[in-house]
Structure 1
Amino acid sequence: MAYAGQATAGSRSDRLERLSPLDAANMRVESRGGPMHVAAIGVVDGTALFDPAGRLRLAEVRVDLNRRLHRAPRLRQVLVRPRRGLGPPAWADDARFDVARHVRARPVPAPGDEAALLAVCEELNQPLLDRSRPLWELWLLPGLADGNVGVLFRLHHAVADGIAAMAMMGALFGAVPGAAPPTPPWRTAPAPSAWQLFTDSWRRRADAAAAAGFRLRHPALVVHSFGARARQLRLALGEGLAPRVSWNQPAGTRRRLLLVRADLGSAKSVAHAHGGTVNDLVLAAVAGGARRLLVSRRELRPRMVLKASVAAAARAPADLAPTGNRAAVMVMPLPAGEPDPARRLAQIAQATSARKRHPPYQPGGRFAQRAMVWAMPRQRLVNLLISNLPGPPEPLYLAGARVLELFQVGVVQGNLTVAVGVLSYAGQLNFAILGDADALPDLNTFADGAAEALTQLGARATTGRILGT
């Protein structure tokens, strides 16, 4: 899918926007102790972000971002939780919205290298987002040794999936240098009244009853829909159980984050030369990282094939809505037991080609989503999580300052203590490897193995570096 570009404000309908069942499931996971926000980490050219005295232009950045928020109205909204009988939570404008509560700064301690930056990001990304406010934060992180500024953007999964989150970032981060033009004052819509919530809830129930009646009059459609979902579930479950590995244990509360960088142009050339895609190359790199970790832990077995839950695009080509989730997953094999990187990539390319003939699995219905929430800490279907997003091909700008690098950070949940987020950005192919700090104190072994696999295939990859070199 192409980069979605900038989000647009769209029309503000009088119809209430409710929390979807899938987003409610995300909230339920979080209520059980598993954070469900995603994040992006970037490095921004510091030249335009400091005044002549060397002070961060925080107030000016806030003004610039505030002028752009009309392009992503959800970032000014909170969840209103009605009393029982008035339906699920609804999105409403935050009458007390203050951009200063969402855009803040925190200095990176000496020596200001990548390790110091990531340590600050790990700390800031740990707490849950405050549900009494719009569910996002942006942190400016000055103090890097090269004079640049780190950025941490946090967004709740109930607000947007990966594609929609990139659209929101396109709204806040301009595609050209220069400050955002002045915009008309934002007019806050009043929160829905109890009567509005009541009538909206009954309207939705009437719509659901009408839809049920339609299905009863057209049983063939019901059979077709049920059959499609059954096939999706059968394909997901038909992969069999994932092999037991030591890192599949209930996730704790502490995280560790490492970065791997590759050149997008060389990655495309390598992937195509082996008859695959960049997605296949990403999976091969992750398989290489997992292999290195298994070897170091003496868990690798001959012909061992791990299983990864890979986020898949479930949006229609015309669906570029800057909010909401269209979540789907595919279970992909990772032949960690294959020692040769080229054969590993070829096996993955063959497997992905076969799986693309079938739609990805989309959890539908409250029962299925509740079952997934219950099963996550004890599931045996997959070993790790992977998300690969197409980012903007041209640089973004934050308040006129060029974004030099950008990484997407996923979510560790249940007993899946490794999540690999991959983002293409302005000629870069960037990996953010997130691990549970207790289950994976040796996460660097995984990152080194992924970088080595990319390099062996010719994609020119590096792990952590001193910023500015």
Structure 2
Amino acid sequence: MERLTALDAGFLDAEDADRHVSLAVGAVAIIDGPAPAHDEVLAVIGERILATPRLRQVVRRHPLDLSAPRWADDPALDLAHHIRRAALPHPGTDAELFRFTAEAMESRLDRERPLWQCWVIEGLADDRWALLMKMHHCIADGISTMHMLTGLCDAGVGATYVEAIRATADEGGGAQAAATRTLNPVDWVRSAWNTASALTTGTVKTITGAIEIVDSLLRTGPASPLNGPVTTMRRYSAVRVPLAGALSVCEAFGVTLNDVALAAITDSFRAALLRRGEQPRHDSLRTLVPVSVRADDAADQTGNRVSVMLPYLPVDEPDRVEQLRSVHRRMARVKSGGQSQAGSTVVSALKLVPFALASRTIRALTALPQRGVVTLATNIPGPRDRLSMMGREVVGMLPVPPVALRLRAGVAILTYADDLVFGVTADFDALPDVDELAAGIGKAMTCLAAAARHPHPGRPGLVLIPPTDDADTPTPHLDRVQG
């Protein structure tokens, strides 16, 4: 009998703490050609979905939550409850697809059934259709969700960008590994001392990181229209930019792809605050940045394996390139400060606490009206190669993040083939300008790519680009924003 971890069950508790929240994550695959017949979809997609045991199971909670919920096979599983079909109104543009995606993600999944849905969406422009996969966050984090979605494709799961990310992060061992590689007694003593010093330093960093996280959650930030109670309705938008342009920015400025994405998000949120008459401050955009701690060989395993970082994004800086540099410095400082290690330590420690206590603690914490964190930005490495679904090319993928914990907007970043895609979910009432928010991210990426191509002669790496406070942001479209 397999039980939910405290972290996985925590997503159920967080959902229970706010009746306006649905903690489901999603992804949309846009596919060339006419949609297949429904019987064919049920046969092919159904078989591939049910190859994942977790998608055949339901959650069974114990009275008073005295022990962790368990996964149990659903004896009455009926694919007709889960695989559904819909058609967009004419003309089937991005706007209609975004509206349907938002509405499909609003409702909570039925806990009496396996916690997933799959929507076949007909009527897209250019003779296309789409597949929306929706599942509860207690089943999977971003990486495992993407793994399951790509598993529905004809070739199954192939190479993803996660390997490249991990390869650049791998520093080739450390003091402990060095100690095991040497037999010289003097070197062994020196390595043992280095290992002990590293462990002590790591403990201090973890404690420091934990203090920073607690302070971030308890500290009341400036009043923000981006933080507050949410309704049950959502808006969704997305923008796609060339991955090559983003990588050119990485090379030109010596930053990571995540830095570039966060800088573009920073610029767009700055514009959103200015549209609301708010003066962006250095502490206006505390951002929840999930960090995967999933091993390379565990991508096919369900469940959540994440930690968190809570940096301030520099919305007070008007210059886009300076925003990028500031993001790079802040992310480096947060990474070295131990927030990610602290988050992992807390998750591990929850396993040692009686589940009833852990569950009540998580539910109480998620019910608190936190005002320190304003938004979510999560990076999901997707497939390196273009995929096909039932013999039809998957021309695009869109990530769909949830909205919860008084965060009125969330951004998911997805790499797919030669695309970098930003998906934005927002509360319906609080952010009616979600299209402008997505388009602003694309515009910032365009300007950063231009800066990488044409450095300013007086300041290496800089270029004169339009200010961020203009109001002529275009409506987003899934055609590429040219960098």
Equivalent residue of 1:328, what SS?
strand
Question: Which aligned pairs between 1:3-152 and structure 2 lie closer than 5 A?
Answer: 16-32=1-17, 33=19, 34-47=21-34, 49=35, 56-69=36-49, 71-83=51-63, 87-152=67-132
Offset, 1:347: 0.8
Equivalent residue of 1:405, what SS?
strand
Q: Name the CA shift for 1:370/1:89 in 2 (closer, same or farther; >3 Å).
A: closer
- Greater CA drift, 296-305 or 249-258: 296-305
Offset, 1:86: 7.6
How many residues align structurally?
402
Question: Which aligned pairs between 1:406-425 and structure 2 lie closer than 5 A?
Answer: 406-425=397-416
Residue 374 of structure 1 pairs with residue 364 of structure 2: yes
Q: How far apart in 2 are the matches of 1:398 and 1:338?
A: 44
Unaligned runs of 5+ in 1: 1-15, 50-55, 178-222
Encode CA deviations 1:138-185: one digit per residue, 9 max, x unaligned: 1011111211002211010111111111121122223379xxxxxxxx
Equivalent residue of 1:59, what SS?
helix
Encode CA deviations 1:28-65: one digit per residue, 9 max, x unaligned: 12223121110112211124x3xxxxxx4121122112
RMSD: 2.8
Is the contact made by 1:176 and 1:397 (CA closer than 8 Å) also made in structure 2?
A: no
Residue 233 of structure 1 pairs with residue 174 of structure 2: no
Q: How far apart in 2 are the matches of 1:371 and 1:85?
A: 12
Question: Which aligned pairs between 1:257-336 and structure 2 lie closer than 5 A?
Answer: 257-301=236-280, 303=282, 306-336=285-315
Offset, 1:229: 5.6
**Match of residue 335 from structure 2:** 356
Normalised by the length of structure 1, the TM-score is 0.79
Identical pairs, percent: 34
**Match of residue 190 from structure 2:** none
Offset, 1:103: 1.3
**Match of residue 322 from structure 2:** 343
- Greater CA drift, 128-137 or 97-106: 97-106
Q: How far apart in 2 are the matches of 1:468 and 1:340?
A: 24
Q: How far apart in 1 are the matches of 2:55 and 2:370?
A: 34
Q: How far apart in 2 are the matches of 1:353 and 1:57?
A: 50
Q: How far apart in 2 are the matches of 1:228 and 1:303?
A: 24
Offset, 1:340: 0.7
Q: How far apart in 1 are the matches of 2:474 and 2:394?
A: 19
Is the contact made by 2:117 and 2:134 (CA closer than 8 Å) also made in structure 1?
A: yes
The amino acid across from 2:23 in the alignment is: M
Normalised by the length of structure 2, the TM-score is 0.77
Equivalent residue of 1:333, what SS?
coil
Offset, 1:301: 3.9
Q: How far apart in 2 are the matches of 1:375 and 1:81?
A: 20
Offset, 1:253: 0.8
Unaligned runs of 5+ in 2: 158-199, 452-472
Q: How far apart in 2 are the matches of 1:139 and 1:70?
A: 15
Q: How far apart in 2 are the matches of 1:313 and 1:158?
A: 15
Equivalent residue of 1:106, what SS?
strand
Q: Name the CA shift for 1:307/1:321 in 2 (closer, same or farther; >3 Å).
A: same
**Match of residue 424 from structure 2:** 433
